[in-house]
Amino acid sequence: MENLQALKQRFGIIGNDIHLNRALEKAVRVAPTDISVLVTGESGVGKENIPKIIHSLSHRKHAKYIAVNCGAIPEGTIDSELFGHEKGSFTGATQDRKGYFEVADGGTIFLDEVGELPLTTQVRLLRVLENGEFIKVGSSKVIKTNVRIVAATNVNMQSAIQKERFREDLYYRLSTVEIQLPPLRERNEDIHLLFRKFAADFAQKYRMPSIRLDENAVKTLLNYRFPGNIRQLKNLAEQISVIEEERTVSVIKLQQYLPNNNGNLPAIIGGKKENDFSTERDIMYKILFDMRNDINDLKKLTLDLMKSENPEEVQAENHHLIEKIYGQKEEIEHNIEVLNITENTSEEKNYDFIETIQEDESLSLQDKEIEMIRKSLEKNSNKRKLAAKELGISERTLYRKIKQYDL
């Protein structure tokens, strides 16, 4: 524990939270190896400290340490930044350029926001991790590098992999050891300690007495969720230090600097968190109601078409509506599956409504379409070309539907 305290002093880390200590211990243990490390945690928790600790305690400490913010580099230039480029390889490449992996040979590269890397760059990075090789942009020459990679992300990597935004094989290469830093709201005992440290630092920086919180203000500070984590707490301390003349801060004053205090608590809607499917379900219901209205309109238009002596007058509008509903069908079925609202027994009525719409759609659209095709074929003496023209569809589509409906 004495070594851990010395480490905290060296890197300016404040706090005694058990999860924070565990993360630091893992960093110390993994530092002497060349194992790739993935640091995870919300934005603002101080992930950038871990790669610095790992590099400084490794055998690479006298070599280069380069930190790269992958999310801040445009997609079109990130390959050049990381791996370098040859002269003339693209517009503006007036000379050869070494990339970070070549410059940091023998050292450590910290890839911050690695979850933002384009898929093409992920392939290049995977090759570096597998065999230490890369190729400059515009070159065919393979270059070897001996670099230790520490990456960090605030992205849910499993979700990114499922959405095919991040390669699964690269994730497992990067996360040989994963170090997770806890959010500030889970380090309740450290919040006031950090605030006092920041207040003292800003008092020294701006040459003024340090601010302090009264008892009620401290309680309010500890109950705040800090979505911006340590970064937000530091900014809060700086704002109050500069703006407030009174050096003892009351709870009323403090609340003026805490944006949307209540809004940062979990929002409960009907007993559920705001981040569940309630919002999506509301949207789905609106889509389904709109679709039922479209179906009712289609019924009316189809009836008018069958009764009309001049079906061409209503056929164009009817055809547009059919296309609209068929275009929505696949998306709506997918959204119904995602919502999976059948699992909640309290929503049986909603499910019945959806079933009704799907049944209504299949009966009305298919039956009316068959009737329209049959009437058009009879009217045009079974000449598909004339019938297709009257229906407003291609002859190939009509032929397919004739076979589909066995007409």
Question: Cα 7 vs. chain centroid, distance in angstroms?
Answer: 33
Which pLDDT score is estimated for 271?
A: 41
Q: Which residues contact 69 (CB under 8 A, 6 or more apart)?
A: 112, 113
pLDDT tops 80 at residue 270: no
**SS3 label, residue 404:** helix
Question: 275-311: per-residue pLDDT in tens?
Answer: 444 445 555 555 565 666 666 666 666 666 665 656 5
Neighbours of 309 (CB within 10 A): 5
What are the residue boundaries of the structural domains of the chain, listed by start?
2-182, 185-265, 278-405
pLDDT tops 80 at residue 360: no
- Position 8 confidence tier, pLDDT thresholds 50, 70, 90: very high
List alpha helices for 67-187, DSSP H.
Answer: 78-83, 100-103, 119-131, 157-162, 168-174
What span, in angstroms and rounded, lies between the C-alpha atoms of 87 and 370? 65
Question: 227-267: per-residue pLDDT in tens?
Answer: 999 999 999 999 999 999 999 999 999 999 998 744 444 43
**SS3 label, residue 217:** helix
Q: What is 185-265's CATH topology? A: Helicase, Ruva Protein; domain 3 (1.10.8)
Is residue 33 packed enough to be buried (19+ CB in 10 Å), middle (13-18) or exposed (0-12)?
middle
Nearest to 239 by CA among 259, 219, 269, 216: 259
Question: Cα 133 vs. chain centroid, distance in angstroms?
Answer: 30
Q: What is the H or E stretch that residue 184 is in?
A: none
User: Do 394 and 401 form a contact (C-beta atoms < 8 A)?
Assistant: no
Over the chain, what is the mean pLDDT? 82
Question: Cα 267 vs. chain centroid, distance in angstroms?
Answer: 20
pLDDT tops 90 at residue 165: yes
Which pLDDT score is estimated for 398?
A: 80
**Strand-pair category, 133-135 with 142-144:** antiparallel
User: Do 177 and 37 form a contact (C-beta atoms < 8 A)?
Assistant: yes
Report the top-level CATH class of 2-182.
alpha beta
Q: What is the H or E stretch that residue 6 is in?
A: helix 2-11
pTM (global) more than 0.85: no
Which pLDDT score is estimated for 39?
A: 98
Q: Please give the biggest Cα pair distance in the chain.
A: 97
User: Do 402 and 370 form a contact (C-beta atoms < 8 A)?
Assistant: no
Neighbours of 342 (CB within 10 A): 14
What span, in angstroms and rounded, lies between the C-alpha atoms of 37 and 105? 18
Neighbours of 151 (CB within 10 A): 28
